[in-house]
Amino acid sequence: MKTLVLSNETSFNFTDESTIFFLVTVLDTFTKVDEIRDAMTEENLAGATFDGEVVENIIPVSCSARADADGKVVVNFTNREKTEVEIMKDEITELQTALAEIAGA
C-alpha cells in the first residue's frame, strides 16, 4: 500500500502499483469515492506526500470507478503535473498578492 497524505492531513491508501499521476484504490462501496474525489483538490495536493515523498505542482484531472467481478469498487484517479506556464502564473499571483499587502501596510 502507498499512502497519499494531503496538505489538510487527510490520508488515503492506494495500490502499490500507483503513482502520483495514476492512483488506484479498491473500495468496498461507491460511497467513499466522492469523499476521496472531493478531497483531491489542487490546494490539498500542494505540499502533499505520496509514499513518503513530497509532491508539488500536481493537478487532479479525472476520476473513474467501476465494480469488479468480486463486487469491489476499483477507482482510478488521474493527475498531471502543472505546465511551466501554470507555475509561472502561480508565482505571478503570489508576487501580486505580496505587493498588494506591502502597499496596503
The 10s digit of each residue's pLDDT in 40-82 is: 999 999 999 999 999 999 999 999 999 998 999 999 999 999 9
What is the reported pTM?
0.83
CA-to-CA dists, residue 18 to 28, 79, 98, angstroms: 18, 11, 37
Tally of domains within the chain: 1
71: containing domain: 2-104
- Rounded to an integer, the average pLDDT of 18-36 is 95
Main-chain dihedrals φ then ψ at residue 6, nearest 5 degrees: -75, 165
> What is the residue whose three cell numbers read 513530497?
54
Kindly report the number of other CB atoms within 10 A of residue 32's CB atom. Answer: 15
